[in-house]
Structure 1
């Protein structure tokens, strides 16, 4: 059946089909995703490929424990290092490692800074030139960031550490915080004034982490003058880092 449309050329007819062709239904499995590709040509072709979600990589999730040990050191400017016993510090975090993808053993680790505790420098934990700090002196450490990469194959550790150091003298004096940001590493950390060499994880999870940071001036004339800010500081931290894996932590990526 055709319709006739009259124009200035009555001999021309426009044929319009009134019956639409039926399209067959395409059924796909609920677990599969379809991807349609149309190639540009005089006769477009359609190809359908499937991706099985069950073969997607997964993540191994670890519980990570961090503990600080004794025989640590902290140094600032050109002063001799403080002998620092950090025994008793601890924290926990989560480690994530891709399964089925080659990352050479690298595992991302993020510690919960709300529960991370690092002992303060006090007369009980710290010595300077062989003598304990005076009882009224205290330097509290408040972490803000502690995360990075730990390689479970090479045992290399690289953790970004950011914290505020609060210096006080009893109730008489409390300075604004010194902001320290560095990379605590099991390798070498080197600045213009300070440097240190760390040690990688051993079979018991023990390691030595070192980091050099630049400390900027604060809004306190006394501290700026006494420490000669801006300057460098060095942290040498002995610690243990242990991983435990639970099947309940294995999640789909």
Structure 2
């Protein structure tokens, strides 16, 4: 193919070589102008620290010794804590969670929150729950929950009678908890953060003949707690 160029100089014919005539060394293949980030989708790394919010819900149960379970509405309980990603070669979702027990509130058992054999607790009878430890491991991918719970249960009847505290220490889990007298099965966290936690604990005798006799201490108690646990980055 020939192109004719007009100029003041004598006419010169230029012939452009075809692509097959261009030396191979003049057509190098290079990726230097392509960024690697355009080839691999950018992924936002998961945070190492989370804020964790806890709320207790209704339809819970508490049982002790061989007595029928108490029906317990724990709605209104709340707490906050910090979750930290477990250090390891591969992160599989396990997160260490520690709740601030100073701000953790669990509603007391009263005639307004608790029923026994279908009837509200007698007036003036009250069992306060004072948490001392609430921490453990939550797998944010599988939903498995294992939280160590330690609290004092203060039993009182108005201003007439107040027993020494019952010390309860157990592992609240979304799996199975089983003792010699009591047992229960939990439910793992769902997409909305709801779960059912169960825990069996041994309650030792206290320095109170009336409570030891009435509850047949030492004995086992069972806690079934419906709750929501929400993780956030803020």
Please indicate the TM-score interval, normalised by the length of the shorter structure. Answer: 0.7 to 0.9
Pair 1:228-2:212 in alignment: no
1:101 to partner: Cα distance: 3.4
On the 8 A contact 1:185/1:198 being kept in 2, the answer is yes
Relative to structure 1, is the Cα distance of residues 187 and 100 closer, same or farther in structure 2, using a 3 angstrom cutoff? Answer: closer
TM-score (ref. length: structure 2): 0.79
| In 2: Cα distance, 1:146 partner to 1:178 partner | 17
On the 8 A contact 1:159/1:185 being kept in 2, the answer is yes
- In the other structure, the counterpart of 1:191 is 179
| In 1: Cα distance, 2:95 partner to 2:87 partner | 11
1:98 to partner: Cα distance: 4.5
Show structure 1 runs of 4+ deviating over 6 A.
none
1:135 to partner: Cα distance: 1.1
Which residue of 108, 111, 132 maps to 1:120? Answer: 108
| In 2: Cα distance, 1:121 partner to 1:166 partner | 10
Which residue of 60, 63, 80 maps to 1:75? Answer: 63
On the 8 A contact 1:59/1:98 being kept in 2, the answer is no
TM-score (ref. length: structure 1): 0.73
Q: Can you give the 5+ residue segments of structure 2 that lack an aligned partner in the other structure?
A: 1-45
- In the other structure, the counterpart of 1:85 is 73
| In 1: Cα distance, 2:88 partner to 2:153 partner | 42
SS in 2 for 1:219: coil
What is the root-mean-square deviation in Å for CA atoms of aligned residues?
1.3
- In the other structure, the counterpart of 1:147 is 135
Superposition pairs for residues 45-124 of structure 1, below 5 Å? 60-98=48-86, 101-124=89-112
1:103 to partner: Cα distance: 3.6
Greater C-alpha Rg = 2
| In 1: Cα distance, 2:86 partner to 2:165 partner | 38
- In the other structure, the counterpart of 2:27 is none
- In the other structure, the counterpart of 2:164 is 176
| In 1: Cα distance, 2:199 partner to 2:88 partner | 33
